[in-house]
Chain A
Amino acid sequence: MNLTKLAMTAAVAAFAVFAATSCGASKKSLHVYNWGDYIDPSIVKQFEKEFNCKVKMDFFDSNESMYAKIKAGGGGYDLIVPSSYYADIMFKQKMVQPLDKSKLPNVANVDPEYLKKAVDSKMEYCVPYLISFTGIGYNKDKVKNFRPSWRMFEDASLKGRCVILNDPREGMGAALRTLGFSLNTVKQDEIDKAVKLLVEWKSNIAKFDVDEAKRGIASGEFWLIQNYNGDMLQAKEENKSVEFVIPEEGGSFSADTLVIPVGAAEPELALSFINFIHSPAISARNMQFTKYLSPNLPAQKLLPEEFRSNPAVFPLPEIWAKCEVIRDLGEANALYSKAWDAVKAAEVR
């Protein structure tokens, strides 16, 4: 009877588990689908208190997997935070709903200068959340004669000590900007020239990488890397000699945006959340937690001076004029994949 008892207990336990998973809450709940570690938890708690609801956060690691899941029907989310070019794709595929601006008074705070470059400049279906820039992170003690230019990758004194991002659009983007072309170009001759320049740089760099580069610059292994501003600010906390600058030729920026998917259970609550995020005090707190920039003008004024005068978070106007957002190019994306393959396959002298 020993085993019978065990079998019965197991069955009861399994049933208990099934039962527990179907418990519901009585308060309204907002389901948010976000990147990991991308919002200040105290902000979420404050929203829960003010609006008397529960916020359930779920996480995804890349736009592609989030898109695949939502497209296949795996919904249930009220608010999603895709990158702007994916918000564009999702809108074209009718996966996100237009926003009722009458419920979003705080989006008037969004910087009109930013909106001029944004993918959805009228904020019809997405509201910008946080922006990040790609630029150069460098060790100011180790790099002699530093110029804020992508050409630093050619500097012979940095041989084997610099890293370019392992991302086709970012790597090609740096080369294209150096040559004065748009990083969204579809002209084959411009792309070919960029490939040639990248192959020249390839002989000087240690490798193409994203995460190892961050680790390397904090530990002192690498002296100059192409990387994102938020990560470089975090690296700076670790290693005081790390600085970040956007090169004078301009770089890329990417924006993550807030969208409400079609079929959301609580669109009203989602709109309240978007409005809440863009209230100046909340936006300012979020910026300080994540170390990324929110294009919310009154919030930027609330930031402490050292944060505001930091060129890593707030690029100077003349640099900003040269920055471009990475756009989805539809079928022309294949040109970049081919170009990147050519760069990776090229033999290093």
Chain B
Amino acid sequence: MKRSTRLPVYATAGTLAFFYLPLLIVLVNSFNKSKYGGEWKGFTFDWYGQLFSDVHIWGAFCNTLLIAVAATIVSTVLGTCAAFALHRYKDKLQFLHYLMIYSPLIVPDILMGMSLLLLFVSLKVKLGLFTIILAHISFCLSYVAMVVLGRLQDFDFAIVEAAYDLGASRWQTYSRVVVPVLAPGIIAGALFAFTLSIDDFVITFFVAGPGSTTLPIYIYSAMKHGSPAIINALSVVFLAMTFALVYISQRLLEDRK
């Protein structure tokens, strides 16, 4: 085997460039005076100014965050429980249970959106933030369950038995032993759920009620008549948020060690 090959370096650099070059262009263009981003017309903070003064964008932003936080919390709790149950208990119906958790991952968004809308309408539930949160929980749950299930494969249940032997109660065992060991998986699942929730467009569009516009819906609808430059600024804010979140979670995981 040749040791002097630089292929891995080039492959890594190429992949990173492929991912981050478009984001860099968006970042640069958000400060570009030009509305369409064809040429550099000068440095400006105007787009950010407009972003922060537009009441629709603020409203959509708050809605998006609210929905994401609520959906993440509930789906992380439920998803972790689901993963635990799937891993721990073997009974004849387990295959069916696994399918039930797995199917939201493969059903197309538009089918889920339409069917949830039909469900809410037939149950006479008023569309609004609540229905969006319910819809997001339903698919985020599956993702969290899958991630935690993966983490559970490495989990050695001997430590649970050891905890019982040492006199820990059931609750103490779960809160002091199981969850901390599974923590990286749970946090990863929660982050995944959060990202999916803030990004979701199709399902949210169908189950949103009047007054509950989210950021993706606003951005899509603004593409036809609106200014592309403000969307650049919005994207940069989102990116900054995402990077901050990932950084914080990395620090949290390190502290645990």
Counting CB contacts under 8 A, is A38 at the interface? yes
User: What is the interface size of chain A, counting residues whose CB is below 8 A from a CB of the partner?
Assistant: 47
Inter-chain CA distance A13–B74, complex, in Å, is 11
Measured CB to CB, the nearest residue on chain A to B124 is A73
Q: In the complex, what's the smallest C-beta–C-beta distance from B77 to chain A, in angstroms? A: 8
In the complex, whether B98 has a CB less than 8 A from a CB of chain A is: no
B35 touches A238 (CB 8 A): yes
Is chain B's binding surface mostly helix, strand, loop or mixed?
Answer: helix
Q: Which residue of B lies closest to A1 (CB)?
A: B175
Q: Would B223 and A36 count as touching, CB distance under 8 A?
A: yes
Residues of chain A contacted by B237 (CB below 8 angstroms):
none
Residue of A nearest to B56 (CB): A57
* B130 and A72 within 8 A (CB): no
Q: Across the interface, do A60 and B73 meet the contact criterion of CB distance under 8 Å?
A: no
Q: Restricting to B10-69, which residues have a CB under 8 Å from any CB of A?
A: 34-39, 41, 54-56, 66, 69
Quick one: CB contact mask for A67-102 with B, threshold 8 Å, 1 for yes? 011001110110000000000000000000000000
- Whether, in the assembled complex, B217 has its beta carbon less than 8 Å from a beta carbon of chain A, the answer is yes
Which residues of A in the span 49-71 have a Cβ within 8 Å of any Cβ on B? 56-61, 65, 68-69
| Contact stretch, chosen from A143-151, A180-188, A212-220, A312-320 | A212-220
**CB closest chain-A residue, reference B77:** A10
Q: Does B150 contact A (CB under 8 A)?
A: no
Say if the beta carbon of A230 comes within 8 Å of chain B: yes
**CB distance A20 to B35 under 8 Å?**
no
CA distance A218 to B39 in the complex (A): 9
Determine if A172 is an interface residue (Cβ-Cβ < 8 Å). Answer: no
**Residues 126-137 of chain B: 1 if any A CB is under 8 Å from the residue's CB, otherwise 0?**
111110010000
Q: Please, which residues of chain A bring their CB within 8 A of the CB of B39?
A: 219-220
For A39, the closest partner residue in chain B by CB is B225
In the complex, which residues of chain A have a beta carbon less than 8 angstroms from the beta carbon of B69? 13, 17
Give the complex CA separation of A21 and B134 in angstroms.
13
| Complex CA distance for A3 and B221, rounded to whole angstroms | 42
Tell me if B118 and A35 are in contact (CB < 8 A): no
A36 to B218, Cβ gap below 8 A? Answer: yes
CB distance from A202 to the nearest CB of B (A): 24
- Whether A69 contacts B221 by the Cβ 8 Å rule is no
Contact A3 B205 (CB under 8 A): no
CA distance A73 to B70 in the complex (A): 26
Given contacts A17-B69, A31-B210, A219-B39, contact A22 B205 (CB under 8 A): no
Min Cβ gap B64→A in Å is 13
Contact A73 B121, beta carbon cutoff 8 Å = yes
- Residues of B within 8 Å of A77, CB to CB, are 210
Is B210 in contact with A60, judged by CB distance below 8 angstroms?
A: no
Q: Kindly identify which residue among A4, A72, A214, A290 contacts B114, using a CB–CB cutoff of 8 Å.
A: A72
Nearest Cβ on chain B to A303's Cβ, whole angstroms: 19
| Complex Cα–Cα for A235 and B38 (A) | 11
Hey, which chain B residues are within 8 Å of A31, CB to CB? 210-211
- Give B38 Cβ to nearest chain A Cβ, in Å: 2
B227: chain A residues within 8 A (beta carbon): 37
List A residues 188-215 near B (Cβ within 8 Å). 211, 214-215
Within B69-118, the residues touching A (CB, 8 Å) are 69-70, 73-74, 77, 114, 117-118
The reply to whether A218 and B225 form a contact with Cβ atoms under 8 Å apart is no
Instruction: Determine if A2 is an interface residue (Cβ-Cβ < 8 Å).
Output: yes
- Cβ 8 A contact of B130, one of A13, A21, A76: A21
Contact present for A290 and B225 (CB under 8 Å): yes
Q: Indicate if B213 sits at the interface (CB-CB under 8 A).
A: yes
Q: Which residues of chain A come closer than 8 Å to B74, judged between CB atoms? A: 14
When the two chains form their complex, are residues A59 and B128 in contact, meaning their CB atoms are under 8 A apart? no
Query: A135 vs B213: C-alpha distance in the bound complex, in angstroms?
Result: 33
- Closest Cβ–Cβ distance, residue A312 to chain B (whole Å): 16
Measured in the bound complex, the distance between the Cα atoms of B254 and A288 in whole Å is 56
Complex interface: chain A residues within 8 A of B6 (CB): none
Q: How far is B36's CA from A4's CA once the two chains are assembled, in angstroms?
A: 52
> Which of A10, A29, A58, A218 is close to B36, meaning CB atoms less than 8 Å apart?
A218
A305 at the binding interface (Cβ < 8 Å): no
12 pairs across A/B with beta carbons < 8 Å?
Answer: A4-B175, A14-B74, A17-B66, A17-B70, A57-B213, A58-B211, A60-B205, A60-B217, A61-B221, A69-B117, A69-B206, A74-B117
A binding-site residues for B, Cβ under 8 Å? 2-4, 10, 13-14, 17-18, 20-22, 29, 31, 33, 35-38, 41, 56-61, 65, 68-69, 72-74, 76-77, 211, 214-216, 218-221, 230, 234-235, 237-238, 290
Excluding A14-B74, A36-B225, 10 further A-B contacts by CB distance (< 8 Å) are A21-B128, A29-B211, A35-B221, A41-B55, A41-B56, A68-B114, A74-B207, A219-B34, A238-B34, A238-B38
